[in-house]
Amino acid sequence: MQENGSLKLFKHGPTAEVRLFVLVFLALALLVVDARWATLEPARQGISVLLYPFQRIMLAPRDGVARVKGWVDAANEMHFEKEAIQRQRIELAQMATHAAQLAAENEQLRRLLNVPETVTQPAVAVEVLFEPTSAFNHHLVFNKGGSNGILPGMPVIDEGGVVGQIVRTTPFTSEAALITDDKLSIPVQILRNGLRLIAFGGGADGKMEVRYLTAGADIQPGDELVTSGIGGLFPAGLSVARVDSVHRDSATGFAMALASPLAHPERHRHFLVLQVDVEAARRHKEALNGGSGGLR
């Protein structure tokens, strides 16, 4: 027969408090042993070796993100440095160009300051504001006008000679027609022999034309044309142009010469406006019933 016995429903063992005490005691013992002796160092080394691959696996996403971030930061820094170097190169090029431009302007101003020694009229120094865009007119607009004593009819010169003539003024600006403009004519004479002529603007390729010449007129290529002083607006002796070619027509008995202006307004920004007596010139012209110079 089966032996009757009591059925064990619960397993008896140490209580939770006892187990906690044992574990705490064991942990303290291990701390003391590890602090005073190197007994557990081999175990620590072995555990570290076993855990190292898992540590690298866990840290791999962080390292990858840091590496990618480093690449991006380096690329952005290189891009910014490249832009900064490019800006610096542009600024240096602009500074060099500006310095060269200032040097050229200073040289031109020094030459321009010597011009009043050759003329007796007072002069006003002007600077070009802009050049009106027109295929039919050759004009310049200056930064000074009627408030500075500039009047229509006054001649404009540079160190090379006559540049043009004031045709319109406002209190603060003035507009000049260049000697190549087809509305401008200047009484001139040949420096070599004193022959008086009239030079007209409007020639091809920026040239001036000397018209109404007789076929036997003593004019030849290379002659320098200067203002004759007739009319009172352009003082005598200012350089105007140099004759390039002379075309004689034996059939009509007339000749025409082409001349290149000696002034180069397209190269400079500063000019002188000679303050001639425009009213006296106008009265003289009216007295003579029409003069030979100035705007037609």
Q: Are residues 218 and 290 in the same domain?
A: yes
How far, in Å, CA of 153 to CA of 161, rounded? 16
Residue 9 lies in a domain: no
Q: Are residues 53 and 161 in the same domain?
A: no
Task: Evaluate if residue 199 carries a pLDDT over 90.
Answer: yes
CB atoms within 10 A of CB 65: 10
Domain end (from 113, 132, 155): 113
Residue showing tokens 């400079």: 268
Owning domain of residue 154: 123-295
The CATH number for 189's domain is 2.40.10.340
pLDDT in tens, 76-114: 888 888 888 887 877 777 777 777 766 666 666 666 666
Residue 5 lies in a domain: no
Percent of the chain surpassing pLDDT 70: 82
pLDDT in tens, 142-188: 999 999 999 999 999 888 889 999 999 999 999 999 999 988 999 99
Task: Evaluate if residue 209 carries a pLDDT over 90.
Answer: yes
Task: Give the chain's domain count.
Answer: 2
How far, in Å, CA of 56 to CA of 2, rounded? 62
Residue 191 lies in a domain: yes
Q: Are residues 243 and 268 in the same domain?
A: yes
Residue 238 lies in a domain: yes
Residue 175 lies in a domain: yes
Q: Are residues 96 and 68 in the same domain?
A: yes
Torsion of CA 147, 151, 154, 158, to 10 degrees: 30
Task: Evaluate if residue 275 carries a pLDDT over 80.
Answer: yes
How far, in Å, CA of 193 to CA of 216, rounded? 14
Residue 155 lies in a domain: yes
Q: Are residues 101 and 216 in the same domain?
A: no
Domain end (from 113, 143, 175): 113
**Strands, E assignment, the chain:** 123-130, 139-142, 155-158, 161-169, 174-178, 184-190, 196-200, 208-214, 224-227, 239-249, 254-261, 270-274, 294-295
* CA nearest neighbour of 226 among 265, 179, 296: 179
How far, in Å, CA of 225 to CA of 195, rounded? 9
Residue 188 lies in a domain: yes
CB 274 within 8 A of CB 121: yes
Q: Are residues 258 and 180 in the same domain?
A: yes
Q: Which amino acid is at 121?
A: Q
CB 139 within 8 A of CB 176: yes
Q: Are residues 222 and 283 in the same domain?
A: yes
Q: Are residues 95 and 228 in the same domain?
A: no
1-23 per-residue burial string, b: 16 or more CB within 10 A, e: under 16: eeeeeeeeeeeeeeeeeeeeeee
Q: Are residues 106 and 138 in the same domain?
A: no
Question: In this predicted structure, what is the pLDDT of residue 10?
Answer: 55
Residue 220 lies in a domain: yes
Instruction: Pick 92 or 207 by higher pLDDT.
Output: 207
Question: In this predicted structure, what is the pLDDT of residue 273?
Answer: 93
Question: In this predicted structure, what is the pLDDT of residue 293?
Answer: 47
Q: Are residues 86 and 129 in the same domain?
A: no
